[in-house]
Amino acid sequence: MSTVTAELHDVPTEPAVNYLNASYGIKSWLLTLDHKRIGLLYLASITLMFIVGGVAATLMRLHLVEPQGALFEPETYNKMFSTHGIIMVFFFLVPSIPATLGNFLIPLMIGARDVAFPKLNLMSWYIFITGAALALYGTISGGVDTGWTFYPPYSSLYSQTHVVVVALGIFIAGFSSILTGLNFLVTIHKMRCPGMTWFRLPLFIWALYATSLIFVLGTPVIAITIFLLALERLLHVGIFDPAIGGDPLLFQHLFWFYSHPAVYIMILPGMGVISELVTAFSRKKIFGYSFVAFSSLSIAVISFIVWGHHMFVTGQSIYAGLVFSVLSFLVAIPSAVKVFNWTATLYRGSISYQAPMLYALGFVGLFTIGGLTGLFLASLATDVHLNGTYFIVAHFHYIMVGGAVMAYLGGIHFWWPKISGRMYPDMWARISAAIVFLGFNLTFFPQFMLGYLGMPRRYAVYPAEFQVLNVLSSAGASILGVGYVIPLVYLAWSMRYGPVAGPNPWKAKGLEWTIPSPPPTENFEEIPIVTEDAYNYPAIEAPDYPEVPGVARV
C-alpha cells in the first residue's frame, strides 16, 4: 500500500461490533468466556486491590514522618505494613500483567481466537476474587501483623490476629495463578497460528511462558506451606514448632521456595512488556532476539535455586549460605543480558517519547539500579549489614515499583488503544509518567541511604537522626500517589471522549495490531498466517516511514 493511498484511508474508525458491545448486561460480563473481557475483569479487580494496598502504603509513610510515629500504635503499624505487603504482592503484582495484559493479548499475539481453556480462565477469575474477598475481609476485621512473610513461631503460635483467614485468602488466590499459568502454557504450546514458530513469537509471549512455568512449579509450594501453617495455628502444634523438634527455618525454606520465584513472576512479564515497548518506539528489531527469549527461560529456571538468600541472617547454615550466594549472583546474568539487549535496540533507533516509552525508559534505568543493589544483598558479608534494613525495602521497591509497576503502566498505555479503541491524551500521560518517575525516586532513593545508615525495616519508630530522609521519602510517596491517580482519570475519560484510535495507532508490528480496535469477540476474521519474524520493522531510512497520527513526535 503506497503512502498516498494510506493517508486517504487514514481516518481511524471504530468497528460497529466489537468485544465490548457484542453483548450487554452484567451477566454477559460475569459469565463471559472471552479472554479479553476476562482480562478487563481482572483489570478492575487488581486496580481495586492496588488502591487498597496503596492506601496502606500512604498511611505508613504518613506515620513515618515523625520519629515516634505520627499516626499509629506500633501494633497497628505492624498491621499496616503486613496488609500493604500481602495485598500488593499476592493480589496486585502477581496477577497484574499476566492476568490483565496476558489474558488480553496472548491469543491476539499468537493468532488464536481464545485461550486453550476459556471456562478455566473464567474460573480463575472467580477463584481470584474469592481469595481477594477473604483477604480483604481478614484485613477489615483487624488484619494480620506478621508481615507478608508470616514467619512462625510468631504467626503460628503467638500472633493474635486473623492469620488463618488472610492466609486462606492467599491459598485460594494461588489456585487462580496455577490455573492461569496452566492455561497460558497450553495456549502457547498448542494454539499458535500457522507460521507462528517459537522464534517468531513476540518476546512478551516468551516472558509469559516463562512466568507460567514459575506459576505452575512454585505456587503449589506456597499452598502447602500456608496449609501447614494454618494447621499449626489451629491445632497449636505442628511441624514448625520447636517444642516437638520442629524448625521454624523449614517454614522459611518452603515459603521462599515459592516467594523468590514469585518476585520473578512479578518482573518477567514486565520485561516482556518492555521488549515490546522498546522495539515499537525505536522502530527497530530487538537486538539479540534469541538471547532475550532464552534469558526469560533462564531467569525462570535459576529463580528456583536462589531462595536461601532471604535467610542468610535468620539461622541458615553457612554452607547453604555460600551455595545460595553464588547462585544468586548467577541469576543477575540473564537480567543483565536483557538490559544490554534493550539498550542495543535503542542504539540508532528512531526513538519517540510517547508515554509508554517514557515508562519503558524509566523501567530500564530503575530496574538496573534495583538489580545492581540486589548484588550487594547476594553477597553474604554486605547482606549481614543490610538485611532487615530499608536498603532491602528500597531494593525490592526499585524492582517491583520502578520496574514491574512502570512496565505495567507502560503496557496499559501502549495497548490501551487496542483494549478500548480510544487514545488517551498523550500530554497528560507523559506528565504523569514524569510525576511517577520523580515521585518514585524521591520516595525510594532516600531509603537506600536509610538502610545503609542502619534504619531497620518494619519499625514503627526510629531514631531522630533518620527523620530528614524519612520525610523526603514520605514527600516522594505523596507525589507518587498523584502520579498514579492521574492515569485513572484520563484513561477513564478516554473511554468515552478520547479520539478513536484505529487498528494500529503506533504503527507497531505484531498480530494484535492487524485487527480492529477494539477487537471483535472472535479476534480474527480469518486465522492469520505468519511469514515474517517478530518486530520486522522497515529499515529506518525507508521513505514511507510513517508518522503516528495525531501525536507530535519529539
Q: Which residues bind other proteins (CB under 8 A)?
A: 116-117, 178, 182, 185-186, 189-190, 216-221, 223-225, 227-228, 231, 234-239, 243-247, 249-250, 253-254, 257, 304-305, 307-308, 311, 315-320, 323-324
Q: Which three cell numbers stand for residue 490?
A: 484520563
Nearer to other proteins, 213 or 357 (CB): 213
How far is it, in rounded angstroms, from Cα 7 to Cα 343?
A: 33
Identity of the residue, 186 or 495, whose beta carbon is nearer to other proteins in the bound complex? 186
Please state the closest distance from residue 179 (CB atom) to other proteins, in A.
8
Instruction: Output the nine-digit C-alpha cell for 550.
Output: 495525531
Provide the minimum distance between the beta carbon of 13 and other proteins in the complex, in angstroms, as a whole number: 36
CB of 182 to other proteins, least distance (A): 5
| Nearer to other proteins (CB atom), residue 215 or residue 448 | 215
| Residue 317, all three cell numbers | 547454615
Nearer Cβ to other proteins (264/363): 264
DSSP assignment of 156-194, as one string?
Answer: III--S-HHHHHHHHHHHHHHHHHHHHHHHHHHHH-PPT
DSSP single-letter state for residue 539: P
Residue closer to other proteins (CB basis): 185 or 406: 185
* Distance in Å, CB of 250 to other proteins, minimum: 6
Q: Which is nearer to other proteins, 236 or 553 (CB)?
A: 236
What single letter denotes the amino acid at residue 105?
Answer: L
| Residue type at 120 in one-letter notation | L
**Rounded (10°) angle between helices 390-399 and 355-378:** 140
Angle at CA of residue 129, ends 137 and 131, nearest 5°: 55
* Cβ 31 to other proteins shortest distance, Å: 21
CA distances from 511 to 146, 151, 193, 412, 504 (A): 46, 46, 10, 17, 10
Between 113 and 285, name the residue whose CB sits nearer to other proteins. Answer: 113
Closer residue to other proteins in complex, CB, 96/187:
187
Nearest Cα residue to 249 out of 344, 312, 177, 314: 314
Which is nearest to 513 in space by CA: 522, 502, 499? 502
Contact 56, 86 (CB under 8 A): no
Tell me how far, at minimum, the Cβ of 180 lies from other proteins, in Å. 12
* Smallest distance from other proteins to CB 518, Å: 29
Question: What are the start-end ranges of the E strands in 139-273?
Answer: none
**How far is 420 from 492, CA to CA, in rounded Å?**
10
- Report, in Å, the least distance between residue 214 CB and other proteins: 10
